[in-house]
Amino acid sequence: MTGTHTVVVMADVAFERVAPVFRVRDLSAALIRYARLGFVTDVDEPAQYGFAHRGEVHLHLFPDDPDEPDGTGGIVYLYVSDADTLHAQWTSAGVEGRFFGPHDTPYGLREFIYTDPDGIVHRVGSPL
């Protein structure tokens, strides 16, 4: 079977940043947790929509829909300059959740993983 491929030419558009959006069980608790992890947080009260940012990393948070089971969770990979230092800061911040690592990976990063109470997995790595 032979196929044809259509090539679509698009105008050159610079992608400037990405902001993953996560559902959380309790928006206020999530914003407090991110603040303890060193993020600047803000909330749009009427929309019940939260924001957490640190440097060029931006996360958006909104309350879970109780009618949609298993609606929370997700994975974000954060590239940082020093995973060991951030791991030390985050583990001493007194936040709930599970930490794994840090450890060296076969793909050349020093990495740790933090899974928060909402099931959001934060994989964090820096160059070896």
Higher pLDDT, 18 or 125: 125
pTM higher than 0.85: no
Write the DSSP string, 8-21. Answer: -------------E
Domains of the chain listed by start with CATH number: 21-127 (3.10.180.10)
β-strand pairing of 98-104 with 109-115: antiparallel
The arithmetic mean of pLDDT across residues 24-28, rounded, is 92
**Predicted confidence band of residue 18 (pLDDT cuts 50, 70, 90):** confident
Q: What is the pLDDT of residues 33-87, one digit of tens each?
A: 999 999 999 999 888 899 999 999 999 998 877 766 666 788 899 999 999 999 9
